[in-house]
Structures are given as structure tokens and as C-alpha cells.
Structure 1
Amino acid sequence: MTLPRSLSLAAIAMVGAVSTFAATAPAQAVFAPYYAAELATPVEKPTTDIQKGLLWDCEGNSCVAAKKNRSRDMIVCQRLAGKFGDVTAFRAANKVFDEADLAKCNG
């Protein structure tokens, strides 16, 4: 099947625009995880763990995950703590848990 010349040129222009955006966008904006956590006890080796549809990537004391479900942030933190032990720092998007939140997370 051959595309009409005008359609193929439009497709090429769109691919060019997308690739230019991807090349100029800051890496952290493109790949920033929704969740980031610090564990009290490091994992022994790089680990991935799936919890209610969230894929956690953990290495050393750090764990990160993209948002893939509708669970409340506190529930996500509590599940992580239940699996890997106490969480010493937790961020969900732009919300950083304070000491009271962390105590509830680890409770």
C-alpha cells in the first residue's frame, strides 16, 4: 500500500517534531518516577517487585516506581515498608512525606 505523497510528508514532519522534542527535553522530566523511597536497610542486590500493579525498582537503599494504580500514597508506602522494612524517606509526585507520615507508613 502506498501512502499519498502529502500524507507521507506529514508523517515525516511529525516524526521529526517528536524526535526533536525528545532530544531537547530534560532526561529527568521524561524519566522521573512518580514514587521514590529510601529504605532503612538496603536490598542485597538490585531488585524488582510488583505490588498491586506497581513495579518497584530497588537498588541499595533507593526504590522508585511509576504510578500505575489508584492506591492512596500512604497505602503504597505501607506496602513498600511491609515488603522491604522501614522507609526513611518517601515522595509521591511532588509530595514529600514528613516525620508523621513516615511513622504512619512504617507503623
Structure 2
Amino acid sequence: MRKWMVPLAAALAMGFALGPALAGSTATLAAPVEKETQVIKDGKIWRCEGDRCATDAEYETVNRLVRACRAIVDEAGPVTDVTSGDDRLGPDELAACNR
């Protein structure tokens, strides 16, 4: 029984450590937030810490991602990069987001 407990504990620890890196959508902030910030848009909860915001959810359209990005900018400040799944906001979309 003890044989599998150590590998299991290690795997679980890695999963928790990698969890935020595997989020469905991420935003990189131009400047870090001073305290952990939460942004809710379209029923999705974004958590911002340091210079990064993330949610487990992915957005179906770029327009919805831009709307979420604007909510992040309102709460946490300007962004330099935003992704959702395989989609990444381009320069024009980032400019619209940071308005």
C-alpha cells in the first residue's frame, strides 16, 4: 500500500502546481496586481495574482473574450496578452480591450 502512496502524492502535488498553467483562458497584465483580484464576466470567474489572470473556462468567440478582457482591465489594469484555448487576441483586439 505504501508503494503507491508516494508516487500518488507527488502526482497530485504536480497537478495542483500545474493547474493554473493549464487554465482555459489567461491574461497577462502590464503591471502586477497588489492583491489577489477576482473578476466575474459571462459567468466565468477569473483570478488575478501577480501579473497573471486565469480561468478554467474557454470563450467560444473572440468578441466574448474581448468583453472579458475589458472587465479584467477595469478591475486589474491593462493587459499585454490574452489567450483562450488556441485563440490569442491580436494587436487590434488588445487595443480595443485596453481602450
Quick check: TM above 0.5?
yes
The equivalences for 1:60-75 within 5 A come to 60-67=50-57, 72-75=64-67
Name 1:76's counterpart in structure 2.
68
Q: Corresponding residue for 1:44?
A: 34
Shift of 1:48: 2.6
Identity within the alignment, %: 31
What is the aligned residue count? 82
**8 A contact 1:54–1:68 mirrored in 2:** no
Q: Is the contact between residue 30 and residue 51 of structure 2 (CA under 8 Å) also seen in structure 1?
A: yes
Q: Which of 73, 91, 97 is the matching residue for 2:83?
A: 91
Runs of 4+ in 1 over 3 A off after TM superposition: 68-71
Contact 1:53 1:68 in 2 (8 A): no
TM-score, with structure 2 as normaliser: 0.66
> What TM-score results when the alignment is normalised by the length of structure 1?
0.62
**Equivalent position SS for 1:67:** coil
Gaps of 5+ in 1: 1-22
Contact 2:39–2:71 (8 Å) recurs in 1: no
Q: Which has the higher contact order (CA 8 A, sep 6+)?
A: 2
